[in-house]
Amino acid sequence: MLTKKQRKILKVLEEFILKKGYSPSVRELGKELGLSSPATIHSYLLALERKGYIKRAGREIKILHTPLFFKEKIEIPLVGLVPAGYPKEVFENLGENIEIPEWISRGKSKKNLFCIQVEGKSMIDAYIDDGDIVILEKANTASSGEMVLALLDDGSVTLKRLKLEKDGIYLIPENPEFKPIKIENLKIIGKVIGVIRRY
């Protein structure tokens, strides 16, 4: 069982290795943790090694388990079936939560995240298929090229790629069988940050 501090150090260590591809030095790890004492860092590494979470060989540190980075989960609300096809008037909170990997939410506020279940195949070339769970961050603005959940003038919602052109605003499908939608008043509900597929 890890203490709170050991868990924090293990997460920082895992993320450093996953991001940079090599083990941090004691000084680098101290900088990441805001600790200045090498002896303190050595004691934490020794504790993690004794508990079987890491193995040290010189400067090299090996992670001996599935990283916390991938294992930890958070719950976010599922808000209904949203078409990735023709716009549809279905967008309601189902009162259900979906578990997602915690790493997807890095740098984002959990309270601003929600997910939808997609209905339709207009985003298939962006690897979003019928039945997929799409994770979004609440937003009211987006850049051209981002995938967004948009509220249309008639009150319907759709998942498409936003394209800002000189002659107007378009919601572009990622499937040649569907046509772009030109809109006058754009209202963004959220921006896509991830996809979960159930096989």
Write the DSSP string, the chain: ---HHHHHHHHHHHHHHHHHSSPPPHHHHHHHHT---HHHHHHHHHHHHHTTSEEEETTEEEE-SS-HHHH-EEEEEEEEEEESSS-BS-----SEEEEEEGGGGTTS-GGGEEEEEEESSTTGGGT--TT-EEEEEE-S---TT-EEEEE-TTS-EEEEEEEEETTEEEEE-SSTTS--EEESS-EEEEEEEEEE---
Per-residue pLDDT of the chain (199 residues; tens, 9 = 90+): 778 888 888 888 888 887 788 888 888 988 888 888 889 988 989 998 888 888 888 788 888 876 655 566 788 888 876 666 665 554 555 568 887 777 676 667 778 898 888 888 999 999 899 888 899 999 989 999 999 999 887 778 889 999 999 888 999 999 999 999 998 888 999 999 988 876 5
Residues labelled catalytic:
122, 160
Domains of the chain: 4-69 (1.10.10.10), 72-196 (2.10.109.10)
